[in-house]
A and B are shown apart, each in its own frame.
Chain A
């Protein structure tokens, strides 16, 4: 079982703040890193999939970067809004397996 760590576990910010959090993973045999957004009482929804070292993805105010050599990915949210409140999950696939290993998520709460 791969060790995929997310930090911080939870985060409270004020509306308008920019924030970021981290997904750390073993760098060996890396294949792909996925980010999902999971709102309370809903199901996870895909944000990004990244495969190449140095990849940067952007969707509106949310962006992500990937460093496969050192084994981490950052998710950034610019100008947080209350509707950004959710748990953000990362998931790693590596080696010959297509089965992703999920981190435990970072819970973001944006206060108006």
Chain B
């Protein structure tokens, strides 16, 4: 199994409070992703990173920010949590395993997920 951990695994918070979720990897993979999973929507990309300090927005980035100061850590912050951000959050990593192979073929490896409830 890829070495990916997420913390916390469960969190209950109140509307308006800031929340930070952490994804930590021991694989030294270049690419990291944050997804949210909601019934009827599958996995939707929030933000992704293609290197230290290199990040970009995904499909559902409003209300979220990210930071990546080290290869191994990718943080997702909800500046002011809302009930619509109640979800299960998954981190994923990927890396090209063959020199010259485009990252489009990379397999993603997922963390165990964080269940966030915003009351």
Q: Do A and B come from the same complex? A: yes
| B59 contacts across to A, CB distance below 8 A | 1
The listed residue (B43, B102, B104, B107) touching A46 by CB distance below 8 A is: B107
| CB contact under 8 A between A89 and B45, given known A31-B102, A49-B105 | no
CB-contact partner of A98 in B42, B102, B111, under 8 A: B102
Chain A residues lying within 8 Å of B103, measured Cβ to Cβ, are: 98
For the side of the interface on B, what is the size category?
20 to 34
Contact A102–B48 (Cβ < 8 Å): no
Contact B43 A89 (CB under 8 A): yes
Q: Is A93 an interface residue (CB 8 A)?
A: yes
Cβ-defined contact, B113 with A32, below 8 A: no
B107 touches A34 (CB 8 A): yes
Within 8 A of B (CB), among A30-50: 31-32, 34, 36, 42-46, 49
A43 with B105: in contact, given A99-B45, A102-B42, A103-B42 (CB under 8 Å)?
A: no
Task: Answer yes or no: B74 CB below 8 A from chain A CBs.
Answer: no
